[in-house]
Structure 1
C-alpha cells in the first residue's frame, strides 16, 4: 500500500536512543506510513541500527549523507519522500512518538481539511514523563480549524516534531529548514503558523521529547552559555520577527509585537538568565546580537514588560553589562525591591544606583504589576448555605494586621444586572504568607470567609438557570484591585462539589479560565444506573422534560483531548408523568483504552519510563482515554436540543474489567463510569485501578477499606513518596468478594527499624500484586476514591506532634499529605528570613551556652565524625549540653543528645548561642562566628574528586564558590584526615585558619578492639547469613544526574539479575546510596540485594562488609584502614574525571584495586576476589601508606583536646 504519511528521521550519534525511537514508529496504529531515516554522517553505530530496521520492515528507508546538521538532514529527507505521501512529519532520533499519535492526527486532518495539525508534547528522561511547559498551551482541549491570529498562544508552539503537515501546503510555500545553524525549527514553524489557512490542535500527547542526562551529550536546547547558541537563536527569532513585519497582511503586523513580546519573555530570556554564569565571549556576543534584534523591535514592546524585565532589556540597550549582571545576581539572591509613591508607585533597584545617566522614571513604574491574588482555599455546602474560604492580597502590599485591607465578595449574574455584594471579614491565615513563596512581605491577615444563603441566588419566581461569577475587591496600600476568585489546583477548591437546590435544580460550581463560577442548572436528564452487559455497557436514565413528537435521542461521547466523538441511539420507553425512561448501550471497544493504544513495549530500550516521581493523578494512574457525555435530541420540526447527563446521587462509580475478546492484555484495563466532582457522566478507559471506599483515623492509624477488580492473592498496599523514590509496604486483609482492608501508622514507618515518621511531602498509594508477565514480577495498581466516599475527605489525624491529612486530590485521587515538623510560623521563605533576623540575629547578643551543636550531613544522620566526637565528650564526662540537628524527624538519637529541628526556631537559637558547633557538611553562608565560639569543620572524606573552589563550574549550584568562601572564613578548626589532604583542603575551601592533622574521628571505630564482635552483630541486624560474604556497593553521586536541586538520581549499572545468578548462593549485595541520592534501589528486598541506605552510620557497614565496591567515593579511603579488598566500578571514568569533577591524583595508577568498566567483569571479579586482591596487594599497601598515615583509633581524642583548648583561648 502506498504510504499516506512520510516521517523524516535525521540520525546522528544516537545509538543509545535510536531503537526506542524507531520502535515507537513501527508500533503506530496508523500503519500507512514510510519512515525516511537520514544518516547524517553519524560517527557511532546508529546507521547500522537504522539499516537493520530498513532490512526487516519495508516501510523504513535509509538515506545516507555527509554530516550537515539537523536542518540539512531534514531537507534531504524531504527530497526522498514517496510520491504518494499526502502528509509529512519530522521526528528527532532520540525522541519517541506515542502509538496512536499519527492515527489521531491524520483523522483530524481528514475531518477538518486544515493545513497541519499540532499535538501536545511531554518530556521524558530515564525516570519520568512530564508535561512540556512550552506546550502546556496545547493541553486544554482539541480544536479544529483554528489559527495563530485567533489564538496567539500558538506563537509558543515552535517545534516541528509534534506536527503533521499536508505535503501540498509544505511545497506550496516552499518551506525548508535553514542549514548549518542551531534552532532550525523557529524560522520555519512560526511562518507556517501564519501561512496556514487553518490548524488543528490535539491535546493528547503526540510526542515524547527527550531531555538527555549524564554522559549523553547535551542537546542544543540544553547548551545555554555557548556564543553560537545565542547567535543562532537570535538569528532565528529575528528572521521570524522580520517575516511578520514585512508581510503585507495587516494581521501580521499585529502578530509582530505579540511575537516580539514572547521572544523577550521566552526565547532570549533563557540566555539572559545564564548571563551571570557565562564568560566574556558570551557576554560580548549576547550584547551584539540581541541589540541587533532589538533594533527592529517597537520600543513600546519593551516598555510594556513587567518592571524587572523592562529594566534588564533597557540595560541591554545601554550595553550596561555591569549593572545588568548586578541586577541578575540580585534577582538570583531574591533581594527585595523598594517601592515608593502613593498612587503611582515606582521600584528602586539597587543595581541601578550608579547608572549614568539614570533610566527614565517611567521605566521604573511598577503599580500596574501590583496585581491582586484571590486563591480559593475551600468551598462547601451545608444547611442551605454556601461557605467559601480563601486568601486575597495585592502583590508587595503587606497585610500584617486585621485592618491592613478591606475586602468584598461580589457575585454578578451573567447577562443580568443582579449583583450580590458581601463585605468580608479579614481572618488570620499565616499560611498565606508561607504559600506566597517570597521572603519580603507578610500576608498573615489575607484570609477571608464568606457564608452565603443560597436563597439569595434564587429569582423572584423560583430558581432560574444562570451563571454567577465570583470576584473579590481589595483595598490595600492605597491601591484598589479586583479579580475573579481563583479556583484552581488539585484540592476541593479547584474541583468543587455541587449541591441540589430542589428536585429539579442544582448549583454547580465550575472553573472558567481559573475563575470561580456558580451555575444554577435545571436537570433535564438523570442517569439512574449503569452496568456491564457483555462487551458493552448499559446506561439507564430518565428524560425529565417532555419530548416533542418524533424527537429522537442519542448519547454523544466526546474525547476532548483528541476531538473524537461517537453517538449511540437511545432506546426510549413511554413517558410516565412527563418522565421518559431511556437505556443506551456503548461498546467497550469504542471508548476503552486498548493495549494497542499505549506506549511502546515495556522492554524497548530507553522507552518511556514509568513515572515514579509523578506529581499528579494522571501520571500516577497512567495512560487513559477520558470521555465526556451529553444527550442530543433531534426532531423533524424544531431545533436540536442537548441535555447534560447528571448522575443520580447514591449511584456508585462502576469499574468494568475489559474482556479478553478485546485483546490478550485487555483484562489489565478497565472502563470506569464516573460522576466526578460536577456529577456529569464520564467514561475513563484506563489501566485497572483499586477503589477506596472508606478511610478513617483511629489511635494514630489510618484504616482503609477498598475494592478492586484485580486479583488480591499476595497483594500488599504500597505507600510511595511523590517527589522521590521512597516506598513502604503495608500488609492487607483480602476477602473473596474483591474487597480488602489495611491499616498503617504514618508516625512509625521510616528508618531502618520502622520507628520514624514518614518523611514530609505527599505520598501516593498503590496495590501491588504478583504478576509474572510484568517487569519485576509485580504490578502496581493505582488507587481512586469511590464517588460515595469523596465527601468524607480530607481525613485528618495528629500523632506524636505531627499532623497528617488524607486528601482527595483532583476530586478522586487519594494522597497523604505529611507536613514537615516545622510549625506554620516557621515555614516558607518569609518566616525563615524572620527567624534568621529575630532569633539568630538577636541570639548573637545573648551569652554563649556551654553546648555542642552537632551537624552530620545537614541533619540526615547520627553518624560520622560528629558522632565520634559526641561519644568522646561523653566518655570524658565533659559538662556540656549535647544538641543534635535532625532534618524532618528522620534520625534516631540516643538519649544523650537533644533533637534540634533543622530550620526550626531552636536551630537558629543554637547557631547563635552554642559555644561549639561541630559539622561535617556546609553551614549557612550567613553564619558569623562569635567571639568565644568554636566552629569545627570535620568535613566528610578524603578527596579523590575535586571539591570546593577546585570545581571550576559547579553544575549543582552556580553560586557555590562565593558562598563557600564566605562560610570558610567562619571556621575555627578544620580536620584533615591525612597529610595528603591538608594542602587540598586549604586551597579548595579557601581556608586560612588552623588545620588539625589528626586523622578522622569517624575512623576510630575501625580500630576499636571489639570491632569483630560488632561486625557480627551488624551482619545479624542486616540479615546477612553467617555463611555468606557481604559485598558493600557504595557509589558517589553524579552532579549532572539531578531530579532537582539537591536531589540526585541513582543509576545502578550493575546487572542485578546476572549478579544474583552468579553470586546469590554465597553472597549478599549491600547497596548504600549517597545521601544526596533520592531514588530507590532496584531489586532490593529479594534476599540478595539489601538496601542499607537508611542505616545510620556507614562505619558499621564497613565492619560488616567482606569487600567494597565503589567508584570515586571517599569511602575507599576509610575502608582502606581495614585492609580488605576493594573493586572500582568506573563505567563513566572519562566523563566523570574530564567533564564533571576532575581528580587530585592519577586514579588509574594509584587505585588500591582494579578499575572495572562492565557489570559482567565486576561480577567475575567478586567471584575471584582472592586472586584479584592478591594481584593488587602492593598497590593497596601503598595506598594505605599514603592515605591512612594519621589514624590510630584516637583521632577523636586529639580533636576534642584542641577544640576545648581553643574555646579557652578565645
Structure 2
C-alpha cells in the first residue's frame, strides 16, 4: 500500500499542521518546505489516500498559503472531516465558510472513496412472520439524496451474487444525526425500515443453504452509493436470532464480520435434548430420513477431547415423523475432570463427526430446553444455546439466571430468577455502570432457590445520602459475596436463553419533578448478559453535536435578547457536583436572603443537588436559557468559547485549585501542551467579570498561565471558609453521622489526583492504585477508617470498599465536608493539599511516581521535596507506618507546615465568601443585600 503524505512526514511536521494557526513563521516555513519536498519526491499520489479536508490542508501547506490554511484548520477543529458537496455528476468539495477557496480540480474533486456510506442497524423485530429491520443509512457529508430516485434495499447471496430486491420505507431517525458524531449536517431523514415478508423468507429457504447479506443503496453525486448494513455493538439489534420454518429449514437472522444478513441452514441432524442423568451427559439427536447419519459426537476444549458414538434409539410405538433418533453418552466426571475454579468459565465446542472425521457444529432443534447441573461446590455444567442456535456447553460458576421480568405501574423493574440457596447465601446484589464503574448495592429477596430484585431507576441507593436516578449508560447486575474484597469474584446475572425473545423490554419510570418520566430499556450483551439502560437526559432536539451547535448558535442567542432574570446560575466541575466555591456562594446568598432564583447545572452523572434550587441538565434548552438570562453566573471551570457575557450580567470564575502541577501556557514546549487551547485562553477569561484567587502565589501563576487580562480578586477561596466556620464541629458531626463512620476511630482521607498516562480503552482515566489496602486494613483497621476520594476524572472501583475499613466517598457531594471529618490527609500533587493546610491537621504525600510526574508527565512549579508540609512516601508500607506514627510526623514537620501556610493560605480568615459575594453584587440591583467584607 502506498504511503500517504502524513505517513512520510515527521511527527514535528504533523504537529505544526495540527496547530498551524498558533505556529510561528519559522514553523510555517518548515512545514511548507517539508510538504513541498515530499510532494516533489513522491508525487501527488501521496495525497490521494487522504480524506478530502486533510488533502486540502497538506496541499495548502505545500503551496505556502498560510492564511487559507489557518481558516481550514480552524474549520476542521469545529467539525473534523466535515465539508459540503457541490455538483451532481462531478462532485466537488466545498469547505463551510470558504466557498471562494481556490483549489485545483485534482484536490477538490470527490470520488466514491471520499464519500463513504454509513449503514447502521438499530432494531430487529418480527411482525407476525415478517422480519423487519430498522436503521439508518447516509452518505457522509451528503445530508439529502440527490435526484428523484429513492433508497432501496436488497439481499445479495454471498457466493452466487444473486440479488433480491426488498421493500424499503423511509423513516425519520434522529439516531442517524447523533451517530454521525458531526455538527455540520442533519441526517434525520436517513432512517429506513426494510420488511422481509414471510413469503420471501420461505423463498430464500427454498433455494437451499446459503448466506444473504443486506445492502442499502442511496442516490448521490454520480450515481448510487451502496453499502452493507452493520450491526449494533449490543442489544437485540446486535445479536443473532433463529427462526425455524415448517419445512425444517432454519433462518439465522443476524450478523457476520461482513455485516447484517440471513443465513439459511438446512441441517440434516439436530440435537433435541441434552440432559444429565445418573452422572452421565445424555445427548439425543434427530436425523432427517434419508440423510447421512453422523457417526459420533465430539466435545472439545483445548487439549481435552471426548468422543461418543451415536447409537440408534428405538422409536416409541405409534410415533411417526420424518426423523430417526440417536444418542451419545458422556461421563460427567470425565467432562469436568479438569474444571476451572472460582468464576472462570470453561467452554466446550460440540460437533457431529462423520465417518471420515469431518466435524460440523451441532444445531439445536426447535423447542430445545436449556439446563444447568451443579457438579461441584460453586460450579455448574451449563447446557445452553447461543445466538445462531447451536449447542453451548460450559462449566462455570453457578449463576443467577433471570427467568421473569416485569415493569410495574410505578416505574419499578422487577427481576426474578433462580439461584440455589447454597450459592445465594451470604451474597449481595451489585448494579455496576459499564464504563464509569460506579456501583449501587440493591436489596434482594431470597427464598426457595429463587431471587427477586426490585429496581427503581429513578431512586437507586448510594453509599451515603439520598437515592438518586441512574445516569445514562448500561448498568449490569452481579451477585457478590458480602465480605468480598473487590469485584474479582462477581457472578454476572444472566437471562435464561429461552427468554431472550422478550427483549428489548421498554418501560417508563415514575413522573419526574422536572417533567415527563424517563424511558428505560432492558436489553442484552454477549447473548444473555442483561443490562438496564436509561434514556439520555437530552430531548431529541438537544442530543448530539449537530443539535448542540444549533442550540448554541440560534437558541442561546435568541434567549440573550430577552430580559435578564434575577437568578444565580451555578456550575461546579462541569455539573458533576454540588460543591466547592459555587456551593459556598450559594449558601451565603441563601443565608443573606437575597431575593434571587437559584439554578444549579448537573450533568449526565446526576449528582446530588440542593432540593431548594431549580436543577437543569447541561446541554438542555433550560440550561442555555439559564446561561443567557441569569443575572449572575458562578462557575469554577470553563463554560465554552461560545459563551459571551451580556451587558448587565455578572459572571464569576472561582476556579478550583492552587497550582502545584504546571498549567496552561506554562506547559508550552512540553509534550502535554495544547497550543490551540492556550490560544483560546484570553477569550475564555474575558467571559468573567473577575477571577477568584486563593493567594498571591496563585494570582501570579494564573494571570500568566491562563493569559488573564481582567481582574484577579485575591479574596481566598470561598470553599476554604469551612475551616474557620464557627459551626464546623457541628457540621463535621453531621457528616460523620451521614456516612455512618464508627465512633472512636481516626479518619484518614485519601484524595489523589489523576494520571494523564493512565487510561482505559474508553479514554476514561484509570484508578492508579498503589496502596496495599488489604495490608493497610490488617495494620490499621482496628482504630482507623480510610475514606477514598477518587478524582472526578478517574473511573474504577475501589477494592475493599464496604467492608468497614475502606469507604469509597467519591460520590459524596463536597470534599470540604470530608476535610472536616478527616484526621489525616493523604494526597500527592493534588491541590487538596493547599486547602487542607487551612485545617492545621497532618498530611502525608504518597508520591510513588514523583520523578516521572515531575520530569516527564506534567512538571511542578516548585521543589516539592523541600517545601512539602509532610513526608514524601514511596511505598505502601512507608505510608502505613507514617499513619501509625502520625504524631511524630506532625512534630517533625511543624515548622515546614507553618511556613507552607504562610506561603499559600493567606488570606485565611473565613471571610472569602463574603468578599466574593459583595464583589459580585456590587453596583447591581441586589447590592443593598451585601455585607461589609
| Aligned equivalent of 2:851 | 1134
| Aligned equivalent of 1:570 | 310
Any idea what SS the aligned residue of 2:435 has? coil
Give distance in 1, aligned partners of 2:893 and 2:485.
39
When the two chains are superposed, the root-mean-square deviation of aligned CA atoms in Å is 3.9
- Equivalent pair of 1:524/1:643 in contact (CA under 8 Å): no
Check 1:649–1:729 CA distance in 2 against 1; reply closer, same or farther (3 A cut). Answer: farther
| Aligned equivalent of 2:666 | 950
Any idea what SS the aligned residue of 2:595 has? coil
| Aligned equivalent of 1:225 | none
Check 1:571–1:1070 CA distance in 2 against 1; reply closer, same or farther (3 A cut). Answer: same
- Equivalent pair of 1:276/1:325 in contact (CA under 8 Å): no
- Equivalent pair of 1:1109/1:1129 in contact (CA under 8 Å): yes
Structure 2 counterpart of 1:474, from 214, 218, 234: 218
Structure 2 counterpart of 1:933, from 646, 649, 655: 649
| Aligned equivalent of 2:470 | 758
State the shift of 1:971 in Å.
1.5
| Aligned equivalent of 1:391 | 136
State the shift of 1:1031 in Å.
1.8
- Equivalent pair of 2:827/2:846 in contact (CA under 8 Å): yes
Give distance in 2, aligned partners of 1:1001 and 1:807.
46
Give distance in 1, aligned partners of 2:581 and 2:592.
17
- Equivalent pair of 1:593/1:685 in contact (CA under 8 Å): no
Any idea what SS the aligned residue of 1:508 has? strand
Give distance in 1, aligned partners of 2:674 and 2:76.
15
Structure 2 counterpart of 1:437, from 162, 181, 200: 181
Give distance in 2, aligned partners of 1:809 and 1:1022.
35
| Aligned equivalent of 2:434 | 722
State the shift of 1:736 in Å.
4.8
- Equivalent pair of 1:591/1:683 in contact (CA under 8 Å): no
| Aligned equivalent of 1:903 | 619
Asked if residue 1175 in structure 1 is aligned to residue 892 in structure 2, the reply is: yes
Asked if residue 858 in structure 1 is aligned to residue 602 in structure 2, the reply is: no
Asked if residue 1105 in structure 1 is aligned to residue 815 in structure 2, the reply is: no
Any idea what SS the aligned residue of 2:585 has? helix
Which deviates more from structure 2 when the two are superposed, residues 585-594 or residues 471-480?
Answer: 585-594
Asked if residue 1154 in structure 1 is aligned to residue 904 in structure 2, the reply is: no
| Aligned equivalent of 2:402 | 692
State the shift of 1:973 in Å.
0.5
In structure 1, runs of 5+ residues without a counterpart are: 1-258, 603-620, 660-666
Give distance in 2, aligned partners of 1:708 and 1:497.
26
Check 1:937–1:689 CA distance in 2 against 1; reply closer, same or farther (3 A cut). Answer: same
Give distance in 2, aligned partners of 1:1055 and 1:422.
61
Structure 1 counterpart of 2:639, from 891, 899, 923: 923
In structure 2, runs of 5+ residues without a counterpart are: 928-933
State the shift of 1:1198 in Å.
1.4
- Equivalent pair of 1:324/1:351 in contact (CA under 8 Å): no
Give distance in 2, aligned partners of 1:874 and 1:404.
62
Give distance in 2, aligned partners of 1:1032 and 1:462.
70
| Aligned equivalent of 1:73 | none
- Equivalent pair of 1:404/1:476 in contact (CA under 8 Å): no
Give distance in 2, aligned partners of 1:956 and 1:493.
42
Give distance in 2, aligned partners of 1:976 and 1:348.
46
Q: Deviations over 1:990-1032 (max 9, x none)?
A: 1121121222211222222122222222222222233222222
Structure 1 counterpart of 2:79, from 328, 334, 348: 334
Any idea what SS the aligned residue of 2:716 has? coil
Which deviates more from structure 2 when the two are superposed, residues 514-523 or residues 1068-1077?
Answer: 514-523
Check 1:412–1:1102 CA distance in 2 against 1; reply closer, same or farther (3 A cut). Answer: closer
State the shift of 1:855 in Å.
0.9
- Equivalent pair of 1:411/1:470 in contact (CA under 8 Å): yes
| Aligned equivalent of 1:804 | 520
Which deviates more from structure 2 when the two are superposed, residues 1086-1095 or residues 290-299?
Answer: 290-299
| Aligned equivalent of 2:930 | none
- Equivalent pair of 1:756/1:889 in contact (CA under 8 Å): no
Give distance in 2, aligned partners of 1:676 and 1:1165.
54
Structure 2 counterpart of 1:346, from 67, 79, 92: 92
Superposition pairs for residues 954-965 of structure 1, below 5 Å? 955=672, 959-965=676-682
- Equivalent pair of 1:397/1:477 in contact (CA under 8 Å): no
Give distance in 1, aligned partners of 2:571 and 2:780.
38
Asked if residue 741 in structure 1 is aligned to residue 422 in structure 2, the reply is: no
Q: Deviations over 1:1113-1164 (max 9, x none)?
A: 2222222222222222222222222333333333333322233333222222
State the shift of 1:623 in Å.
6.3
Any idea what SS the aligned residue of 2:838 has? helix
Give distance in 2, aligned partners of 1:764 and 1:267.
45
Give distance in 1, aligned partners of 2:204 and 2:781.
81
Structure 1 counterpart of 2:497, from 769, 781, 787: 787
State the shift of 1:368 in Å.
4.4
Q: Deviations over 1:605-632 (max 9, x none)?
A: xxxxxxxxxxxxxxxx966546363x34
Q: Deviations over 1:1060-1104 (max 9, x none)?
A: 223222222222222222222221112112122221122211221
Check 1:671–1:999 CA distance in 2 against 1; reply closer, same or farther (3 A cut). Answer: same
Any idea what SS the aligned residue of 1:696 has? strand
Count of aligned residue pairs for this structure pair: 908
Any idea what SS the aligned residue of 1:858 has? helix
Check 1:949–1:501 CA distance in 2 against 1; reply closer, same or farther (3 A cut). Answer: same
| Aligned equivalent of 2:931 | none
Structure 2 counterpart of 1:1001, from 692, 695, 718: 718
- Equivalent pair of 2:132/2:196 in contact (CA under 8 Å): yes
Structure 1 counterpart of 2:610, from 873, 881, 894: 894
Give distance in 2, aligned partners of 1:1031 and 1:469.
60
Q: Deviations over 1:1042-1065 (max 9, x none)?
A: 337883222232232332223222
Give distance in 2, aligned partners of 1:361 and 1:417.
35
- Equivalent pair of 1:399/1:405 in contact (CA under 8 Å): no
Superposition pairs for residues 420-435 of structure 1, below 5 Å? 420-435=164-179
State the shift of 1:1112 in Å.
2.1
Any idea what SS the aligned residue of 1:470 has? strand
State the shift of 1:348 in Å.
3.0
| Aligned equivalent of 1:844 | 560
TM-score by length of 1: 0.68
Give distance in 2, aligned partners of 1:1056 and 1:558.
41
Which deviates more from structure 2 when the two are superposed, residues 1197-1206 or residues 568-577?
Answer: 568-577
Structure 2 counterpart of 1:678, from 371, 379, 388: 388
Superposition pairs for residues 259-270 of structure 1, below 5 Å? 259-260=1-2
Q: Deviations over 1:460-506 (max 9, x none)?
A: 99786565443323235775323333345333233242222215233
Check 1:813–1:956 CA distance in 2 against 1; reply closer, same or farther (3 A cut). Answer: farther
Structure 1 counterpart of 2:481, from 753, 760, 769: 769
| Aligned equivalent of 1:825 | 541
Give distance in 2, aligned partners of 1:976 and 1:265.
44
Give distance in 2, aligned partners of 1:319 and 1:351.
20
| Aligned equivalent of 1:554 | 296
Q: Deviations over 1:220-255 (max 9, x none)?
A: xxxxxxxxxxxxxxxxxxxxxxxxxxxxxxxxxxxx
- Equivalent pair of 2:660/2:831 in contact (CA under 8 Å): yes
Q: Deviations over 1:814-836 (max 9, x none)?
A: 12212331122211111111111
- Equivalent pair of 1:592/1:686 in contact (CA under 8 Å): no
